Amino acid sequence: MPSGKLRIALVGGTGNQGPGLALRWALAGHEVFIGSRRAEKAARVASELSERLRAVGVDYEFKHGQNQDVVPEADVVVFTIPFKGVRPTCELLAPKIGAGCVVISPVVPMKKAEFGLTIELLPEGSAAELIASLIPHARVVGAFHTVSAGLLNAIPEPVKGDVVVCGDDREAKEVVMGLVRDIPDLRPLDGGPLAYSRVLEALTPLLITLGKRIGQPDLGVKFI
């Protein structure tokens, strides 16, 4: 795993959290690939995001391609996809993802409840553990569950909040904690093993529901 500049592939990078992470990591000097199921969509979003960086005075060209084409050379793959896409995406990408590749899961299995959103319980325990079971040669790390797409998108404003990072491989977790620090002013916290994602993923529906109720749609969290 190289230190410094990383090759980061955002699977489903045209969706909700993908563009904001892409912008932030481009600004931090990484080589960012926008992946999508459709090559044209990836190309369009890559072009729009490059334009947004030019608007803040940064000359940068995002790479892009279909998900299966952007992951093979990546140091870090990020699953910025909804939970329902996890299983087919893993089946498609597992043969393309390199051994030891760091895979970040911000995925949260949510469902509607009478009071708002809640976590959907999985036999595998969590989305991150499901991904780890489907891509066993990758080093899966859970992170970025508590950071809103809206705040990530609002470059060059700093993003307030904490990101709890969990995983079973210490080096992979360190890489991801570095990627959190690359986004001002986010703070990474070591949440321990990957199984901690079972409680960690539950923070997302809690934040979305509470944020709607109190009128703060981009609600984040700080541990004090």
Rule CB under 8 A: which residues touch a copy of itself?
113-116, 118-119, 121, 160-161, 164, 189-193, 195-196, 198-200, 202-203, 205-207, 209-211, 213-214, 216, 219-224
CA-based end-to-end distance of the chain: 32
Single out the residue of 95, 209, 202 nearest to residue 142, CA to CA. Answer: 202
**CB-wise, 64 or 145, nearer to a copy of itself?**
145
CB 111 to a copy of itself: min, Å: 12
- Cα torsion 137, 138, 139, 144 to 10°: value is -150
With residue 32 as reference, give the H or E element that holds it: strand 31-36
Tell me the two tokens of residue 55. 């608007």
Give the strand pairing for 102-105 and 139-142: parallel
Q: Estimate the crossing angle of helix 86-93 against helix 127-134, to 10 degrees.
A: 30
CB 149 to a copy of itself: min, Å: 16
**CB-wise, 18 or 188, nearer to a copy of itself?**
188
CB 196 to a copy of itself: min, Å: 5
**CB-wise, 91 or 190, nearer to a copy of itself?**
190
CB 207 to a copy of itself: min, Å: 7
CB 209 to a copy of itself: min, Å: 7
**CB-wise, 175 or 194, nearer to a copy of itself?**
194
**Contacts for 3 with CB less than 8 Å, ≥ 6 apart:** none
